[in-house]
A and B are shown apart, each in its own frame.
Chain A
């Protein structure tokens, strides 16, 4: 009964989505209040029914209802509760339901928090989000019904893929989807603006917090995923330039560009057309990512069961959404105008460079991801693009951008003087060059890449600090009290600093782990000792242990440094009988300066095992950097002054509009 309620709720949600996506638009167009007042109630009703549907499916997982095909394929009665509930998004159908649920959450948030927008604009915004929802709900109902019954019911489920049985499964997909789908709000803002003909700095100010919020989620989602792959896939990598990863990274790059160009649109009323195009692109890339991941067209270390027929549906949807948006853009963009002029050397031009760099980077990732698909569909043979391409191109493109990152925030709007910025950044330059020479020397191996990487990382970090000091100094005249001075700087500014600082930390982590990691594959008998640098790893044998739904061989490794015991690691090789699959569970002693990472390969004769030991210097800095970026975004969102200004501005525009209407 419950699954049928779920399916019925889903169909009702679909009906409300159709109402939300069409009638209010007509209402605004024909100026019929009755129709356009439908937008908010329809959106909320849609949300309620999607949530009901979601709860029904999760209840089926909770209650081990194996008469539901999807539950029987993705869960098992021995699966721990938290994983059973998260198993909802362990397969295709549930992932799509999660997608549409999160779209519902964002739409609901828009109806709750975007009350200050002018009516016609707000209605269009909500309606466009309804249109996005129609496509996805249709996709679920017609091609991927998660409530399909299995008759006769299975005695027990086929279990969740063991790779997914990890706390990462509980957090990573929802957070990542919050990011992906969050760009639908920026997209809807752009489309509504094109329909409305309103593209001014007030529009940019309304869009900004939504974009930043989506970006924060996406940043965290990608970071979680990377960390999860690092400890779960058992080969110690944190990024593989894999198509599925690229699919999440491209919207991130474009979303980052969008945040910066929105700043220009808000402050200077410039870059308007470009900002709209970026809003459309960021969401299009999110959709493309969904298509790539869900359609099974690519070989990926993260690919799960997929279905090409569904791929076609998503592709069609993709064409309609992106094509429609671009068509509208082509029709309306020429009327927008260029906005205020700026000098060749100004903050605007720096931000323009930032955008060019980020978009070029996204473009090169797109090329590497789609080219193999294109060649394959043209029958030109199967090829893949190796990670060295991405490494080389990405570094080459991003390096100048990172250098400009130091200059940009110091530049003034409209026109700035390079020598002045140069003087202010002298110290940062000296510090960066010195550390770029010293750090590789201290790490014992000097390579060009590590020197450049350290330079970039320290450059970003030090220029950010100088920026803060500069700001405090310049305010000292008006606010001599240091504490008040620091308190008086808007949170958005701190947010920007923190996010940039995070980029610096991230670069240092990437550089040092790439340059100085060590890896050993060994055959170890009981009581063998492996030397890795100054550390000794002693293998004390493996013993059998039992988990809730698996059995495991658990090894014991004692790590000593100069005869001092510093860690005991217990890597496991687990066997999950339901799917008959084996899983490597690495054990990692994480630290600020290095991770010690041990994973078990296979049992050999006489209790010996093949073993892989890694030392990963500074690898945690990668994720720490991402978390700092996300925190920076959160700080920017919390900026109080910004919200008050937003309200005031909205009121002003409304007054103007009212005066105009009168």
Chain B
């Protein structure tokens, strides 16, 4: 085999591998995108009925309660316009608190309850997860619009 043929073969193999890699990456990428919804959007049915997504807002004051099994916690997340119930099993992050920002990732169970498998709270006093901040901002804007009408 001539060097030129060899090189051509190499380039061809390289291209094929590259195409396979790109296809696989895009596929895996698409199936792992997690979308974010505010409680208002969830209320209006924009969130997927099955599959994982993120919600965010503030943990409503006085809403955290421990379920009888002692491990699951239920709390409400609000964007100040709408609220929704969230159930989480496991140990909450240390900075999870009522009245503070939170982002939760999970999905609806058969009873239509949002079950979170991950809860992100802020790392320090001044930090608000951008999604949670955006949820509050959106609700505020919507309210102002209503007020204007």
Contacts and interface: CB of A to CB of B under 8 A. Distances in A.
Contacts of A162: 94
B91 A610 contact: yes
Nearest to B103: A299
B71 A610 contact: yes
Question: Range of interface residues on chain B?
Answer: 35 or more
A397 B29 CA distance: 14
A90 to B, nearest CB: 10
A299 B34 contact: no
Interface stretch (B76-84, B129-137, B141-149): B129-137
B71 A521 contact: yes
| B contacts with A: majority SS | mixed
A234 B91 contact: yes
A393 B28 contact: yes
B33 A299 contact: no
Interface stretch (A11-19, A581-589, A636-644): A581-589
A389 B21 contact: no
A304 B127 CA distance: 6
A297 B25 CA distance: 24
Interface string B1-45: 000001101100000000001001100110111111000000000
B91 A599 contact: yes
A392 interface: yes
B21 A388 contact: no
A527 interface: no
A383 B69 contact: no
Contact of B94 (A234, A299, A387, A392): A234
A392 B94 CA distance: 30
B33 to A, nearest CB: 5
Interface of A: 158, 161-163, 234-235, 296-299, 301-306, 344, 360, 364, 367-368, 371, 381-389, 392-393, 396-397, 521-523, 579, 581-584, 599, 601-602, 604, 608, 610, 612
26 contacts: A161-B124, A296-B130, A297-B130, A298-B130, A299-B129, A304-B124, A304-B127, A305-B124, A306-B127, A344-B9, A381-B35, A383-B35, A383-B36, A384-B33, A384-B36, A384-B105, A385-B33, A386-B32, A386-B33, A386-B52, A392-B28, A393-B25, A581-B94, A582-B94, A601-B90, A601-B91
Interface of B: 6-7, 9-10, 21, 24-25, 28-29, 31-36, 52, 54, 66, 69-71, 89-92, 94-95, 103, 105, 120, 122-127, 129-131, 134
Given A301-B120, A304-B127, A581-B125, 12 more contacts: A161-B123, A161-B124, A162-B94, A303-B129, A367-B29, A383-B36, A386-B32, A386-B52, A387-B32, A393-B29, A581-B94, A601-B91
